[in-house]
Amino acid sequence: MIMDCCEASRLLVPSRRALLLGGASFAAWAYLPKFARAAEGRDPRLVVIILRGALDGLATVAPVGDPDYAGLHGAIALSTDGPHAATALDGFFALHPAMPEFARMYRDKHAAVIHAVATPYRDRSHFDGQDVLESGFAGPGRVQSGWLNRALEALPRGERVKSALAVGPTTPLVLRGAAPTVGWAPVALPQADDDTAMRLVALYQHRDVALASALSQGLQLEKAALGDDMKPKSGANGAAAMRQVARGAAKLMAADDGPRIGALAFDGWDTHANEGGPVGRLAQLLGGLDGALAEFENGLGERWRDTVVVVATEFGRTARINGTEGTDHGTGTIALLAGGAVQGGRVISDWPSLKPARLYDGRDLAPTTDLRAVLKGVLADHLGLGERVLAERVFPGSATAKPMKALIA
């Protein structure tokens, strides 16, 4: 998704008070307000992970109990038998074998699946689909702000966090807007050594005290996020990169004065060819996502019990395999929830069946759940936003998509 570089990262101080030092991005962490604990003693965290490229929900959480599934998905269909057996979730759905950590969370009732879900978007353009997913509007091209940023604006003053962590080289659209965000991106360029960094701090102490303070705070932020185990490694694959990003974000969000809300995006989910079924390209991607969820769990530590991670994508993929053993752009897909605050151990679905007459446009899993209802349910029960605010400010024009109940424990 194309983003205006001028709006890629909003800080709580003027933009000149942040630098890029040897490729490391940082911000004036000391300026961020602390999160006030809720009256019931909870200190909730929310992480939104966007999968860009359109996830094959039928290959990730397979409806193995649907008699039409195996024939439609052909060589890439999952099965609960054989050497690469999918993990049975209930008597109807099974999870891709590349996601053992999510399977464990599901067994522990800290993960859930919402199936046959979609945004209101019904065409098949990645650009427009991602715009709708992240903006929260019913159609593309409406605004240059995202639903998560507007949710931040709507949080009660003094009761909820008023800033969020945007992970990546640019702020995802979902977090762009008037509410402040702080950006962090794992770096692949060589870092300036400590001596050089301290010389810069000393120089600015005499010329711009505020900038020196911002630089010092930024260096501390970078050190906290990276540590020795986060230094870039040559030859790191996509799965390892997902874990690395999640590990750093979790360290920042676990801090007492760190951000409580974060958003990040993983690219590369456009599996037109060689999707691979239980092994192959999609398996590698899902393994990286699975590892990222485990990194959030490990890195957040005791904070995990008050955490919800939402995983969403712009649309699904075709029910029928194509000629290159992949799937094309579709409609219905899945959303995943993970975290100690999730009321899990469930696949939530009004299943439409995969009979040819029931496929959307004769080719796709028909969506039966509005993704906005899922997101509203999380924002309402996890962060305390009211239904009217959600319908009018966070997801404008969405009054018919009622917040899904009982997603949060």
pLDDT digits (tens, 9 = 90+) for 322-338: 999 999 999 999 999 99
Phi, psi of 401 (to 5 degrees): -90, 90
| 13 within domain boundaries | no
Query: Which pair of tokens denotes residue 312?
Result: 């969403």
Residue 148 near residue 164, CB atoms below 8 Å? yes
Range of the domain at 130: 19-394
| 7 within domain boundaries | no
For residue 192, give the CATH number of its domain.
3.40.720.10
| Domains: count for the chain | 1
13 band by pLDDT with thresholds 50, 70 and 90: very low
| 9 within domain boundaries | no
| 385 within domain boundaries | yes
Lowest-confidence pick of 70-74, 169-173, 211-215, 390-394:
211-215
Task: List, for residues 26-82, the tens digit of each pLDDT value.
Answer: 232 322 333 334 446 788 999 999 999 999 999 999 999 999 999 999 999 999 998
| 224 within domain boundaries | yes
| 383 within domain boundaries | yes
| 8 within domain boundaries | no
Predicted pLDDT of residue 42: 80
Query: Sign of torsion, CA 398 402 404 409?
Result: positive
| 400 within domain boundaries | no
The residues near 198 (Cβ < 8 Å, ≥ 6 apart) are: none
The pTM of this model reads: 0.82
- CA-CA distance, 399 to 392, in Å (whole number)? 8
Predicted pLDDT of residue 194: 53
Q: Which residue has the tokens 């507007």?
A: 150
> Is pLDDT above 60 for 25?
no
Most confident option among 173-182, 271-280, 385-394: 385-394
